[in-house]
Amino acid sequence: MPNFNFRPLWRYEDQFIDGVLTTLLLTVSATAIGLVIGIIGAVVLRSGPKSARIGVRAYIEIIRNTPALLQIFIIFFVLPTIGLKFSPIQASIVALSIYFGAYASEILRSGLSSIPPSQIEAGLCLGLTRWQVLSRIVLPPAIRNIYPSITSQFVLLLLGTSIASQVSADELFHAAGFIDSRTYRSFEVYALTCGIYFTLVVFFKIVFALVGRAVFRWPTRR
């Protein structure tokens, strides 16, 4: 039986905590920016001029059909050659936002089109403005419909932030690498790191479930 020893890791508690905080920073920033991109993307896909629609489609396809690792490399290594220099954290946020934005565009678009046009008509017929119809009538059920996919995309993003370690953004996975190089306890370090990611994921899943249950109270068919 191999002997595991987690004790040497305790000295690096601070590094783990800093890593988690940076991971959360990356996740939350990329989610926020990505959602804004997603909203714009979805609206353009639904009712933008043709050239803009083609542009957004191309963006979505390029991002979804190339590895995120490569995207982060391009932001970090290629953009400086044309004068756009980012710190590792900045580059990671930019890359992950663009990445999340592509998936969010597609998800939000499907959410909007999941609402039957008759609902929009019913709102317009009551004399509401387009904005009122969108915010009061279309969005609440649309958000409910996409809630499962957008939250699981969030979880994938949280796990995906680990690739930021490859441009040495000092998030959790990078911290793990650092601690590994100091302690030579690779297996223990990565086992613990995986455990921390897992805990974060479970935490967010529980929060999402509770929020979902509190917010989406109305009964649906079936």
- Residue 190 touching another protein (CB under 8 A): yes
Any idea what the Cα angle at residue 87 is, between residues 177 and 61, rounded to 5°? 90
- 150: number of Cβ within 10 Å: 20
DSSP string, 8-32: GGGGGHHHHHHHHHHHHHHHHHHHH
* Site string (70-109) toward another protein, x via CB under 8 A: xx-xx--xx--xx---------------------------
Task: Please give the residues from 100 up to 159 whose contact with another protein meets the rule CB under 8 A.
Answer: 118-119, 121-130, 132, 136-137, 140-141, 144, 155, 159
DSSP string, 155-217: HHHHHHGGGGGGGT--SHHHHHHHHHHHH--HHHHHHHHHHHHHHHHHHHHHHHHHHHHHH--
Distance CA 143, CA 124 (A): 20
Name which of 11 and 136 has its Cβ closer to another protein: 136
Identify the residue among 36, 62, 209, 211 touching another protein (CB under 8 A). 62
Name which of 36 and 211 has its Cβ closer to another protein: 211
- Residue 181 touching another protein (CB under 8 A): no
CB 23 within 8 Å of CB 193: no
- Residue 194 touching another protein (CB under 8 A): yes
Name which of 36 and 215 has its Cβ closer to another protein: 215
- 27: number of Cβ within 10 Å: 23
Distance CA 94, CA 74 (A): 11
Identify the residue among 84, 198, 206, 209 touching another protein (CB under 8 A). 198
Name which of 71 and 97 has its Cβ closer to another protein: 71
* Contact residues: another protein, CB under 8 A: 2, 61-62, 64-71, 73-74, 77-78, 81-82, 118-119, 121-130, 132, 136-137, 140-141, 144, 155, 159-160, 162-163, 165-166, 173, 176, 186-187, 190-191, 193-194, 197-198, 201-202, 216, 218-221
